Chain A
Amino acid sequence: MFLVNLEKTLGRYSLFLGRVSAILLLLLLVNVFYDVLMRYAFNDVSIAMQELEWHLYSAIFLLGIPFGIQVGSHVRVDLFYERVTLRQKAWIDLIGTLVFLMPFVLLVGWYGIGFAHEAYALGETSGDPGGLPARWIIKSVIPVAFFSMAVSGLAMILRCINALRGVSDAGFDTQSPQH
């Protein structure tokens, strides 16, 4: 039961990131619309607002990836996967997560820390007049996102273990979300 609860708790964290991303997306729409309107109608351009566009856009896709792992929206080649039993799927996901996903996201996350820290230590800002300060904030989204992917990966491992122990098959009946 502990593992099932832990899996749910970790899952809630990823869902929270999805919610954050969704709100950032709506802000991005408003941001770009505002910039176009100001430039065209009022002949006014703000470099800071223009830079905010890519800050928002990159936070959306980076924070969205751990959310995507949680809700199973990452695309698979299913020539084989769709034909196997639930237990076999759980094995594939378990091994895939341990061998591919976890090492990859942890290593990138680890180098992401140094990357963001460098920007913090230098006090890096935008090089353009009126641009956004504190580049370390957006750069630190990289390690945050990749360690969050590891959290989602951990939830996936638990999900596979729970499925293999036969205590819960949650997550395997809802692969590939529908639109």
Chain B
Amino acid sequence: MLEIQSVHKSFQDVSILSDISLSVRQGDFFSIVGPSGCGKSTLLRIIAGLESSDEGSLKWCGRSMSNQPAHRRPFNMVFQRYALFPHMTVQENVGFGPSVKGWSPSDLKTAVDDALHLVQMDDYRRRRVDTLSGGQQQRVALARAIANKPEVLLLDEPMSALDQKLRESMRIELLRIQRRLGITFIMVTHDQEEALTMSDRIAILSQGRIEQCGTPEEIYRSPKTEFVANFVGAINHVRVGGGVLYLRPEDLELSRSGFDHDEDFHQGLTGTVREILFKGAVTDFAIDIPTQNGSGRPLMVQKPSSIRHELVVGDPVFVRWRRGAELKLQGEIHG
């Protein structure tokens, strides 16, 4: 278990992280997510030992890591832009860690072989790293960290430099490697979708504070704050009576002819279709609701494209949602 206790960090009087406490279970794929500038990379660097915290403590399996320098922690990092050694071959890069730690030649060879095999780069061992593509460099960077047999692997935006298609296949690849090794992965990303699909648990960071920590389902279904609700998906603000309800676009249902009365559903909104946005697998509908006292923002409804509809722009529609689908936010709510 990695335990982070009330960590504070500021650079030149600007607070970067304030009162960060979280724990990461052994063997988990843990993601730290947030918009750029939220302090997530700094937090990862503090875990790695590349940065020191002003206050707070860091423990791994009960041992304090706060005073251990980076090279004495059983953690290894995959850097955002890989930071491979350009003057070395692939195998020299991967063998760097074991070699400076003075492993025996046979251990070193096994470590390099295993790591390269795991990332499927066996055939490239003698290549210079600058002759490799971005995706291949990424694999080498991964192998270089793994070869040290770390107990925790830290990944700083590992997929930000890859194109969309490669990123999606790399997600599956990373998960496969994590399951194979059975070690803890801590990944920093600004991509909420990446975090939701890959992680066992997620911490959402905003302006140096943890907004929420939980499983992807918890984060998505029961966000604690509006920031979290917005960050991991879209939300609609629906004014009903005196209050505001928060609803995910996919929880709303549409009908041109109206719905039969059903106790399980909350109904009563009527509007007109402003826009229909076909996105491939899903279709978004922007609905103008006159009773929403003219906030200007349309209600967003998302449906799988496989569900047939005959709506066109300008059509009047009825909107309803299942009772209980409303998100229950805690803390401050800004309408």
A binds B: no
Q: Which residues of B contact A (CB under 8 A)?
A: none
Q: Which residues of A contact B (CB under 8 A)?
A: none
